[in-house]
Amino acid sequence: MYEQLLQYLITGITVGSAYALVGLGFAIIYNASDVVNFAQGEFVMIGAMSAIFLNAAGIPYVLSIALAVAITAAVGMALEKFAIEPARNASVVSTIIITIGASILLRGAALLIWGKDIYGLKPFTGEETIHIGPATLLPQNLWVMGCTAVSVFLVKYFFDRTRTGKAILACSYNKRAAYLVGINVKKMLLISYGLSACLGAVAGILIAPITFFTYNAGVMLGLKGFSAAILGGMGNPMGAVAGGLMLGLLESIGAGLISSGYKDAIAFIIILLVLFLKPSGLFGKSSWERV
Amino acid sequence: MYRTMIKGLFACMLGISSALVLTLSAASAVHASGTIKIGSFLALTGPASFLGDPELKTLQMYVGEINQKGGVLGKKLELVYYDTSGKAKVAKDVVKRLIKKDRVDLIVGGSTSGTTLAVIDIVEREKIPFISLAGSIRIIKPVKKWVFKTPHTDRMAAAKIFEDMKKRNISKVALITGNGGFDKSGHAQCLDLAPKYGINIVADESYNNADTDMTTQLTKIRATDAKAILNFGFGKAPAIVTKNVRQLGIKLPLYQSHGVASKKFIELAGDAANGVRLPAAALIVAEQLPDNDPQKPVLLSYKKKYEAKYGPVSTFGGHAYDGLFIAVEAIKRAGCVDKAKVRDEIEKTKGFVGTGGVFNMGPDDHLGLGLDAFKMVEIENGAWKLLY
């Protein structure tokens, strides 16, 4: 029993790390603009697919990864510049619908560029299985966990310690006030889309060697990341990270101890229960509108 | 300004519609001159396009070739096809159109089981011969008068796998399947057939086809006393399962279904694929067949022609080859395109050597393939190896 549980935990944390990064991307954009960006999953796919194809085209491994992240960030910023910004006077709901449209567009573009085939990326460092007691893991699992931890730390540092990070937070509290104290709101929004896209790309590239990618692989990952952000409390970046890890663990342990057939159902039922008891999510600040 | 734009638009539309009318009348003129119309509806776009794409290419290539050689019964073949995107609703609409508007003489098509099952009612009501290219056993069982099919069924795959397990004295098997239609159907057939082969399913795990990791399910399987693992699925999931099995250091024999019988699987799973056994159509091991195998020349010729024109063959295109030639042979034997006569002749197909196997149809078997149509294959050093 114990030996199995350890394996479930390792699997859960690996899968959960990816969810956490995607969820973090959701939370950052939500923080800056109250918008849920449904193209987040597509960022994950674009990051992974770009890395795979750049690498296959003969570009050195590390460089192709860096380029892939840059490409995805550019796509994220272009999305903000050409789709979100022109509609800046639209309601939040309209903007969310624009992001759904953007996700369909990006998926379609990926289909045209890369076709319908399935692709994999070779792992960062070898495929030698590592044994931890009775459980096993791949070096890539460690990379996923480690890089996620570093990314989360950097994001936290960015928001807590840098002027730009604080400026983005200020935009989320009150756009008009932020504007009045001289913050370039447009630029902050652009940065948050770029940052979210970066995180998505990192998530995609990290898990690409473990799983495989197709043009539509972003859909499910986006959904899981969204659930993670909701579970942790939308608007709380660290909550989204915790939510992602919890979701991964719930799925893995639920599948292991109860039934793999109800794996997704178990996770979603628990999310629903949490939301019934605490509608703003586990770590979300409760908010209400004064009438 | 606006007015001129609208006028321009109007003129454009008029132009387009008159062009349409012209092409339509041209099309019917061709029909009047006496062609044999073969209707088809395929999943050319959407998630199942990997089926429809090689099927259409195969149909087009051979219709062209037959016409070059003078056609059938002195008439040219004409292929009329529509895209279903793998959607049942669209399939119903286009099949009605094939029958009522295009007045095709028979239908060869239906890339997915879903689209095929959706049109069976229409085909039966309109009494038109229909050869399906989809896998499910439900298409031909119970037998429908006008419906035939060429691909092996998932039930045959399960039977072939269990037969091999029995040979290796394996009686305890862990089953792991995805949540797709193919997976679920295969899962049901496995559970149904296992007792007949004296096989005990000791674990029955499942995953979502979009999942990124299946080590949890496999860890659970490792804790059972299973002597082999059977994974029924297609796409990327079986490749992940295969990699996860090796990662966990599970030494049990791993069986996959015919759903992974493509080079892509070996490419994705890499070294982990070595040692995996699966039932597959003979096409992927055509070169390894003994020279006295009746299928060998058919397979090699199809492979050569297809690869010269389009690139790597897939077994799915082969199903279209079988469907088209069973139909053509039946029309030749019937000596006309009378629907009832052609149907009777399709049912009398005997000893037809296709890419899927040797077809012997009958009133109660509208597929006509035996278990020997599947070859047991093992992956060795990243290549298919024919076992038997």
pLDDT at B6: 54
Asked whether residue B332 falls in the same domain as residue B381, the answer is no
In a domain, B268, yes or no: yes
Read off the pLDDT of each residue in B236-241 and give the average, rounded to a whole number.
91
> Is residue B241 located within the same domain as residue B382?
yes
Residue B192 and residue B58 in one domain: no
Contact of B205 with chain A, judged by CB distance below 8 Å, is answered with: yes
* Cα angle: A203, vertex A260, A256; to 5 degrees: 85
**Does some domain include residue A287?**
no
Question: Given CB atoms, is B316 within the 8 Å cutoff of chain A?
Answer: no
Distance (Å) of CA B376 to CA A164, A249, B157, B387: 62, 39, 10, 5
- Asked whether B132 and B146 are in contact (CB, 8 A), the reply is no
Domain span including residue B363: 34-153+299-371
Work out how many CB contacts closer than 8 A connect A with B: 83
Q: Is residue A71 part of a domain?
A: yes
- The count of domains in chain A is 1
Burial class for A174, CB neighbours closer than 10 Å (0-12, 13-18, 19+):
exposed
Q: Same domain, yes or no, for B130 and B160? A: no
Split into its structural domains, chain B has a count of 2
pLDDT at A283: 81
ipTM: 0.81
Question: Does B247 sit within 8 Å of A15, measured CB to CB?
Answer: no
pLDDT value of position B211? 86
pLDDT for the residue B287 = 86
B314 within 8 A of B294, measured Cβ to Cβ: no
- Is A134 an interface residue toward B (CB < 8 Å)? no
Residue A142 exposed, middle or buried by CB count within 10 Å (0-12, 13-18, 19+) = middle
Q: What is the pLDDT of residues A278-287, one digit of tens each?
A: 888 888 765 5
A289 and chain B in contact, CB less than 8 A: no
- Kind and range of the H or E element at B274? none
Residues paired with B132 in a beta bridge: B109, B149
| A228: in domain | yes
Mean pLDDT value across residues B243-254: 90
> Does residue B26 have a pLDDT over 80?
no
Whether residue B30 is predicted with pLDDT greater than 50 in this model: the reply is no
Residues B172 and B244 in one domain: yes
Cα first-last separation, chain B: 75
Q: Which residues of B touch A212 (CB under 8 A)?
A: 236, 239-240, 268
More reliable by pLDDT, B30 or B175: B175
Instruction: Answer yes or no: do B207 and A120 touch at CB < 8 A.
Output: no
Question: Minimal Cα–Cα distance from A176 to chain B, Å?
Answer: 40
What is residue B69's predicted lDDT score, i.e. its pLDDT? 87
Tell whether B235 lies on the interface with A, counting CB pairs under 8 A: yes
**B317 and B270 together in one domain:** no
Model-level pTM? 0.80
The yes-or-no verdict on residue B265 having pLDDT over 90 is: no
In a domain, B364, yes or no: yes
What are the backbone angles phi and psi of residue A287, rounded to the nearest 5°?
-135, 145
Query: Looking at the domain assignment, is residue B27 inside a domain?
Result: no
Query: Cβ neighbours of residue B387 under 8 Å, at least 6 residues apart?
Result: B164, B277, B375, B376, B377, B378
B301 part of contact set with chain A, CB < 8 Å: no
The pair of structure tokens assigned to B1 is 């300004």
Does A211 touch chain B if contact means CB atoms closer than 8 Å?
A: yes
- Asked if B210 has any chain A CB less than 8 Å from its own CB, the reply is yes
Q: Please check whether residues B82 and B188 belong to one and the same domain.
A: no
- Residue B167 in this model has a pLDDT that exceeds 80: yes
Banded pLDDT at B16 (limits 50, 70, 90): low
- For B317-357, write each residue's pLDDT tens digit: 899 999 999 999 999 888 888 888 888 888 888 888 988 88
Domain membership flag for residue B4: no
Residues B71 and B141 both lie in one domain: yes
Look-up of token digits 């770590």: A283
Residue A285 lies in a domain: no
Asked if B219 and A11 come within 8 Å (Cβ–Cβ), the reply is yes
pLDDT at B27: 44
What is the mean pLDDT of the segment spanning B129-155?
Answer: 89
Round to whole Å and give the CA distance between A137 and B268: 19
d(CA A203, CA A289) in angstroms, rounded, equals: 35
Any domain includes B21:
no
Task: Measure in Å the smallest separation between the Cα of A211 and chain B Cα atoms.
Answer: 5
What is the distance in angstroms between the Cα of B53 and the nearest Cα belonging to chain A?
A: 11
Residue B123 lies in a domain: yes
| Ramachandran area for residue B281 (φ above 0: left; ψ -120 to 50: alpha; else beta) | beta
Instruction: Compare all CA atoms of chain B with the CA of A8 and give the residue at the minimum distance.
Output: B216
Record: contact A263-B223, CB cut-off 8 A:
no
Q: Which domain holds residue A124?
A: 2-277
Scanning the structure block, which residue is given the tokens 């908010």?
A: A287
Quick check: B26 contacting A, CB < 8 Å? Answer: no
CATH number at residue A178: 1.10.3470
Instruction: Tell me the three-class secondary structure of chain A, residue by residue.
Output: CHHHHHHHHHHHHHHHHHHHHHHHHHHHHHHHHCCCCCCHHHHHHHHHHHHHHHHHCCCCHHHHHHHHHHHHHHHHHHHHHHHHHHHCCCCHHHHHHHHHHHHHHHHHHHHHHHCCCCECCCCCCCCCCEEECCEEECHHHHHHHHHHHHHHHHHHHHHHHCHHHHHHHHHHHCHHHHHHCCCCHHHHHHHHHHHHHHHHHHHHHHHCCCCCECCCCHHHHHHHHHHHHHHHCCCCHHHHHHHHHHHHHHHHHHHHHHCHHHHHHHHHHHHHHHHHHCCCCCCCCCCCCCC
**Residue in A17, A112, A118 to test binding to B, most B beta-carbons within 10 Å:** A118
The answer to whether residues B378 and B324 belong to one domain is no
Is residue B215 less than 8 Å (CB to CB) from chain A?
Answer: yes
pLDDT of residue B10: 54
Residue B342 and residue B269 share a domain: no
Distance from CA of B248 to the nearest CA of A (A): 6
- pLDDT tens-digit readout, B363-385: 888 998 888 888 899 999 988 88
Check CB contact of A6 with chain B, cutoff 8 Å: no
**pLDDT for residue B7:** 56
Report CB contact under 8 Å: A211, B249: no
Residue B189 tokens, joined: 């057939």
The CATH number given to whatever domain includes residue B138 is: 3.40.50.2300
Establish if A171 belongs to a structural domain: yes
What mean pLDDT, rounded, does chain B reach?
A: 86
Q: Is residue B17 part of a domain?
A: no
Q: Is there a single domain that holds both residue B114 and residue B59?
A: yes
Q: Look at A260 and B217 and tell me if their CB atoms are within 8 Å.
A: yes
> Do B95 and B137 lie in a common domain?
yes
Rounded CA separation A220/B238 (Å)? 18
Interface residue B177 vs chain A (CB under 8 A):
no
What mean pLDDT do residues B55-84 have? 90
What pLDDT is recorded for position B24?
Answer: 46
pLDDT, residue B31, reads 46
Give me the pLDDT at residue B2, please: 55
Residue A192 lies in a domain: yes
Q: How far is B296 from chain A (nearest CA, A)?
A: 29
Specify if B271 maps to a domain: yes
Each residue's pLDDT, cut to its tens digit, for chain A (291 residues) gives: 677 888 999 999 999 999 999 999 999 898 888 889 999 999 999 999 999 999 999 999 999 999 999 999 999 999 999 998 898 888 889 999 999 999 999 999 999 999 888 898 988 888 888 888 888 888 999 999 999 999 999 999 998 899 999 998 888 788 888 889 989 988 999 999 999 999 999 999 999 998 889 898 999 899 999 999 999 888 788 899 999 999 999 999 988 888 888 888 888 888 888 888 888 888 876 554 444
Which of B213, B229, B236, B268 to mutate to probe the A interface, most A CBs <10 Å?
B213
